Amino acid sequence: MKVFVINGPNLNMLGLREPALYGARNFEALQAYIRKSAEELGVEVELFQSNHEGAIVDAIQGAYGRFDAILINPAAYTHTSVAILDALKAVALPTVEVHLTDISTREKFRQFSYVSLCAELTICGEGFEGYRKGLEYLSKKA
Ligand code: DQA
């Protein structure tokens, strides 16, 4: 099972960014956590982060034929991007959506997710652990 892990805008600012919400650990720590979880679960991962919507669309398109599944935290694009939703639908790979925070209890504008319309599973509010749970779910699909 080869999973493409995509992190959207501002997640590269973890640690510095609103630590009361997103925690004190930085993006390198998140990447290390994802790699370690993947290794323990016997899943192969490639990690990608971008602050640009089009770059994320390109990356999703490029995943077709190369990966078995996608784990994505689309960050702010969760709530705005029909383009990312359409790209995910186009490649039609099993997709898990993850959010560090519980978007269902935050501001109204964060409570709707375009990506949820095609994700098999959405994990919210579990911090780094959500990525592990997403990988675990996907690992069982192989
Ligand atoms: C986020 C939630 C989004 O609303 C926000 O824009 C993010 C991070 C999360 O992981 O909790 O950048 O996706």
pTM of whole model > 0.85?
Answer: yes
What CATH architecture does domain 2-74+83-108+133-139 belong to?
A: 3-Layer(aba) Sandwich (3.40)
Instruction: Answer yes or no: is the C-beta of 123 below 6 A from any ligand 1 atom.
Output: no
- Candidate from 7, 30, 100 with most ligand 1 atoms within 8 A of CB, to mutate: 100
Which atom of ligand 1 is nearest to 77's Cα?
6
pLDDT per residue as tens digits for the range 119-138: 999 999 999 999 999 999 99
Give the pLDDT confidence score for residue 85 in this predicted structure: 98
Instruction: Answer yes or no: is the C-beta of 12 below 6 A from any ligand 1 atom.
Output: no
Question: For every residue of the chain, which 3-state class applies, written as one string?
Answer: CEEEEEECCCHHHCCCCCHHHHCCCCHHHHHHHHHHHHHHHCCEEEEEECCCHHHHHHHHHHHCCCCCEEEEECHHHHHCCHHHHHHHHHHCCCEEEEECCCHHHCCHHHCCCCHHHCCCEEEECCCCHHHHHHHHHHHCCC
pLDDT per residue as tens digits for the range 4-18: 999 999 999 999 999
**Ligand 1 centre and the CA of 43: distance in Å?**
25
